[in-house]
Structure 1
Amino acid sequence: MFDKRMSNGEKVFTVFNYCLLIAISLICLLPYVTLFAKSVSDETYVISGQVSLWPKGFQFDAYKALISAIDFRTAFRNSIIVTIVGTLVQVFFTACVGYAISRKQLPGHKLINIMYVFTMMFNGGLVPTYLIIKETGLMNNLLVLIIPGMVSVFNLILIRNYFESLPSSLEESARIDGAGNLTVLFRIILPLSKPLLATIAIFSAVSIWNSYMDPLMYLTKKNVLVLPLFLQNVISAATQNGTDNSEVLAHIASETFRATAIFISSLPILLVYPFLQKYFVTGLTLGAVKQ
């Protein structure tokens, strides 16, 4: 923790930083600790406001009711599929487009850059987008959460800046040996970009997992239900008549059930993020500065 060359003032400052960061981390964890405490507490204690950070009347009835819900299993499976496939597709196509527009020899690369950046400031509008989705047959299809987001402009800017900062001698050496564009991209550029690709993957996964407006507008059937819609149904009082599971119907209005649903829904991202956090910090720095 301490370097022998550090002065007493630097040591005090280091201790202060550690204490401050630990305190901030604990504050960030409070909502999840509270959710977990409510999810395993008796409903009587939760309603009376006696549960804060420690559960009372320890039980797992809400978890059993949630797991037995057909709608929850469908929504959880669909969200997992859409997040994994959507993240892979978005990272792949964003990397391909980023490599193409980072090459100055590409005819019209400046115009293509401007066209992509333009979409960050202006979009086609809600009604035209809805009509396009409807006419292309993507209504009530999970692909509607994947295809329109195949290229993320924000991630594209990060990866383009990083590709432009790589030494051109690497690509020139490969081309002298007879490598083509695909070989250069997949054997040289992408292996050097793992931290940045991991960063983009995190951004994409969190965005797709938490997406609410798109599923709300384009997914209306139960077989394509995703977790954000399921949570909205659980939290809303109007959903008491919108479930086919009688056991869930008995719990759906309870604070315990809602806390359980929210906690389980946020758990996958929380479990994945710590393993990619080191790549996230490095990758964001790499892609944020153009050399």
Structure 2
Amino acid sequence: MAHNLTAKKLAETPATVSNYSSWGSRLFDAFNIAFLVGLALVTVLPLMYVLAGSFATEAEIATRPFFLWPETFITGTYDYIFSTPVFLRAMITTICVTAVGTLIQVMLTLTMAYPLSKRVLPGRTLILNLVIFTIVFSGGMIPTYLVVRDLGMLDSYWALILPLAINPFYLIIVKSFFQELPEALEEAARIDGCNELGVFWRIVLPLSKPIIATFSLFYAVGIWNDYMSPLLYINDNDKWTLQVLVRMLTGVDAESSVSAFDSVLFPEQGIKFAVVVVATLPILLVYPFLQKHFAKGVMIGSVKE
């Protein structure tokens, strides 16, 4: 009898604990979902308003403080900006600078991180300490400007790429990733006759697709959204990037900047919205193609040496 009662209690105890655990888990999940939905709405609603405003008339934008769907759907704002030579030139400039800059920055980061991942490299510790030093301390805006000027890169697209060619934080993460790769694969490649460049190109890079995709996206977003570099180093209006143009069109001093746009008329509010949408859309379209590598790449290589 006592044995049956004990067995019954033991059978009921896990169920009771499971019920309490599942109730707490459901409450926690509900709180997380509510919080994340609220955060998503705070993030997405302004973008949806800007998107809706880009298809709305000027009168509707002036009379309705907030809306997610225009009463009168028009596409004249996009027809206007894509027929404007200044905008098209800035768009093409930004795309080219982003593509070339991302390629250069990723290759420089990879080629510097790979040798630093080898413990036998002479002076490795000193170089790593110098890299870490640049994370904590930087020369600042004025010294960087003087270096760019003395190198003759003012009014050059290289001024938007080379000063930020290697991000030291990204470099350390990529180095840590390379250190986690099995050394047996590299040794096997060397036995088969590969030199160090062949090992890097044929073995290391194919295994590094997640981290390459991740930091390619990081570098591309950084270049695409960069506003300060072209503002400091580019004086020629014909070499403006898209972010500078967006700032000129949407800023508080936009009316005083009309003369810089040749014969372009001062845009109305709907055109401002359309410019912001077009400036944001390319990066949003790139992410889905890198998503499968992105989730893995943001965590990979982020362990201590």
CA distance in 1, matches of 2:208, 2:26: 38
1:241 aligns with 2:259: yes
Given the alignment of the two structures, is residue 92 of structure 1 paired with residue 102 of structure 2, yes or no?
no
* CA positional deviation for 1:290: 3.6
**Structure 1: how far apart are the matches of 2:142 and 2:152?**
16
Map 1:162-241 onto structure 2 (within 5 A).
162-236=177-251, 237=254, 238-241=256-259
**Residues 63-115 of structure 1 deviation map (CA, whole Å, 9 limit, x = unaligned):** 11211222111110010001111111111110010001111111001111111
Pairs within 5 Å for 1:63-74: 63-74=78-89
Matched, 1:274 2:288: yes
Which range moved further: 35-44 or 21-30? 21-30
Are 2:61 and 1:46 equivalent residues in the alignment? yes
111-120 vs 46-55, greater mean Cα deviation: 46-55
Residue 51 (structure 1) shift: 4.4
Residues 12, 172 of structure 1: alpha-carbon distance in 2 compared, 3 angstrom cutoff: same
| Residue 27 of structure 1, CA deviation | 3.9
| Equivalent position of 1:61 in the other structure | 76
Kindly state the Cα deviation for residue 143 of structure 1 after the two structures are TM-superposed. 1.3
Equivalent in the alignment of 1:110: 125
Residues 70, 245 of structure 1: 8 Å contact kept: no
Alignment root-mean-square deviation, CA: 2.0
Post-superposition offset of 1:18: 5.8
Which of 259, 263, 266 is the aligned partner of 2:277?
263
Q: Distance in 1 between matches of 2:204 and 2:74?
A: 52
How big is the shift at 1:131? 1.5
Task: In structure 1, list runs of 5 or more residues that go unmatched.
Answer: 1-6
Work out whether residues 90 and 242 of structure 2, in 8 Å CA contact, stay in contact via their aligned partners in 1: yes
TM score, norm. by length of structure 1: 0.90
- The secondary structure found in structure 1 opposite 2:110 is helix
Aligned partners of 2:82 and 2:88 also within 8 Å: yes
CA distance in 2: counterparts of 1:47 and 1:110, whole angstroms:
61
Structure 2: unaligned runs, 5 residues or longer: 1-17
Give, in angstroms, the shift of residue 19 of structure 1. 6.5
TM-score (norm 2): 0.86
Q: 1:24 and 1:129, CA in 2 relative to 1: closer, same or farther beyond 3 A?
A: closer
* 1:271 partner amino acid: L
In the alignment, is the contact (CA less than 8 A) between 1:139 and 1:219 conserved in 2?
Answer: yes
CA distance in structure 2 between the aligned counterparts of 1:195 and 1:174, rounded to whole angstroms: 22
State percent identity of aligned pairs: 37
Residue-pair matches, total: 281
Aligned match of 1:134: 149
Q: Find the aligned partners of 2:230 and 2:74 in 1 and give their Cα distance.
A: 33
Aligned-partner residue type, residue 288 of structure 1: S
Q: Which residue identity lines up with residue 257 of structure 2 in the other structure? A: T
State the distance in 2 between where 1:56 and 1:226 align.
Answer: 33
- Give the whole-Å Cα distance in 2 for the aligned partners of 1:183 and 1:152: 25
